[in-house]
Amino acid sequence: MKFIFHIANILLIIFYLYPGSILGCFIYNDCGIQPQLTPDLINMISSNHIYVFIIISFLGFIVYSKKTTFKYIITYLFFISVFLELMHIVIPERGFEMKDLTGNIVGVVISLIIFLIFKQRKKNGFI
């Protein structure tokens, strides 16, 4: 399972740091177009970013759920969500957007809440 998390992180970094849209290159034959899965939330939060960071974060929480590593994975996920979006300031063909940064952070928080709920239910014998 760690292998899947690490591969997912490498892919996330590649997709985020690529100058343009890798998915747009393949789907639309135009690297300037970013595919949109669902409309953004209230035009203030990027839904695509929420989905990506829910998946990445949940994988990380599952893999590093031990007490000794859990704090580190939380710190890492928040760091990477901010760092990758800030890198868009200097990457050609990319641009920093507050709604993308908000989507990244919201995705981590949603995943953390869901993980902690499942963990508590398991501890109490409900799962």
Domains in the chain: boundaries: 2-123
Cβ atoms < 10 Å from Cβ of 80: 20
Please state the rounded mean pLDDT for residues 41-59.
92
Write down the H helix ranges in the chain: 2-17, 22-27, 47-63, 67-87, 98-123
Contact 3, 10 (CB under 8 A): no
pLDDT at 127: 62
The confidence band for 43, taking pLDDT boundaries of 50, 70 and 90, is confident
**Which range has the top average pLDDT, 16-20, 21-25, 94-98, 121-125?**
94-98
Contacts of residue 119, Cβ cutoff 8 Å, sequence gap at least 6: 65
pLDDT at 75: 96
Please state the rounded mean pLDDT for residues 50-68.
94
